[in-house]
Amino acid sequence: MTPSPQPARAIAKLLIAGGFGVGKTTAIGSVSDITPLRTEEVLTAQSTAIDSLAGVEDKTTTTVAFDFGRVGWDAPTPVELYLFGTPGQPRFWDFWNDLSEGAHGAVVLADTRRLKSSFPAVDFFEQRGLPFVIAINVFPGTRRRPPDEVREAFAVDTQVPVLFCDARNADSVARVLITLAEYAAAVASANSALLDA
């Protein structure tokens, strides 16, 4: 008996962006089905004159190009997500333009102690019309701000999902990715309906 063919997997490219030290590398590492590709380098004394370590004083490495991970889901529709983590420091933001090519959506990861560090990511995706969600990484010992307060701080539309996550927890990151996929599909459907009108 010949086995029935497996349905083709849909492929989606998603970005994980945000400020320096908000947990992008950790999030991709926690949820990826493969060993993630990382372009991390050790922070040096010279870099401290360029990159502010305020709020992330214990950080010893930094992403200098991008992180890459892959997540596959079989139900309800087979899909494979390619995850690209952007570098957080302004001196590496030129990579964002290349990484965003062909992307279907983005997660803006943020830290409530340093929300401003993730503002440029929101501006970047808004300018490109790329659907995004805001995921507040819950660091130990931090105060949870209500989603409406976070939404107001980012000045984003009420349709943009704002949710909490733990970048160390695969299930938590997966929930964020599912929310992004659903939101991006809804935006694409709405845009298609406008074109057909």
Instruction: Return the CATH number of 10-45+58-196, one of 3.40.50.360, 3.40.50.300, 3.30.300.130, 1.10.10.10.
Output: 3.40.50.300
Give the per-residue pLDDT at 68.
87
Burial class from Cβ neighbours inside 10 Å (0-12, 13-18, 19+) for residue 58 reads: exposed
pLDDT recorded at residue 185: 87
pTM of the model: 0.80
Measured CA to CA, the distance from residue 84 to residue 73 in angstroms comes to 17
Residue bearing tokens 């991390």: 40
Instruction: Look at residues 91, 86, 46, 93 and name the one whose alpha carbon lies nearest to residue 63.
Output: 86
* pLDDT of the residue at 42: 58
Contact between 82 and 9 under an 8 Å Cβ cutoff? The reply is no
Residue 136 is predicted with a pLDDT of: 94
Predicted confidence at residue 31, as pLDDT, reads 94
Confidence at residue 103, expressed as pLDDT on a 0 to 100 scale: 92
Kind and range of the H or E run holding 68: strand 67-73
Contact 88, 16 (CB under 8 A): no
Q: What does the alpha-carbon distance between residue 28 and residue 32 come to, in Å, rounded to a whole number? A: 6
Gap between the Cα atoms of 182 and 159, Å rounded? 12
Looking at residue 38, its pLDDT comes to 66
- As a whole number of angstroms, the longest Cα–Cα distance in the chain is 67
**DSSP 3-state percent helix, strand, coil across the chain (nearest 5):** 35, 25, 40
pLDDT in tens, the chain (197 residues): 566 556 667 888 999 999 888 899 999 999 999 787 666 655 555 555 555 555 555 655 555 556 889 898 876 778 889 999 987 666 666 778 888 899 999 999 998 888 888 899 999 999 999 999 999 998 877 778 888 899 999 999 999 999 999 999 999 999 999 999 889 988 888 776 656 65
